[in-house]
Amino acid sequence: MAYVIAEPCIGTKDSACVDACPVDCIHPKKDEAGHGETDQLFIDPVECIDCGACVPVCPVSAIYAGDDLPEVAFYNVGTIDDAIAKGAKLAAEG
> Given the rule CB under 6 A, which residues bind ligand SF4?
3, 20-21, 23, 25-26, 43, 48-54
Shortest distance in whole angstroms from residue 16 CB to ligand SF4: 10
CA distances for 34 relative to 8, 17, 69, 93, angstroms: 19, 18, 26, 10
Shortest distance in whole angstroms from residue 14 CB to ligand SF4: 14
- Give whichever of 25 and 70 is closer to ligand SF4, judged by the CB atom: 25
CB-CB contact of 8 with 70 (8 Å): no
- Work out the number of other CB atoms within 10 angstroms of the CB of residue 42: 24
Shortest distance in whole angstroms from residue 43 CB to ligand SF4: 4
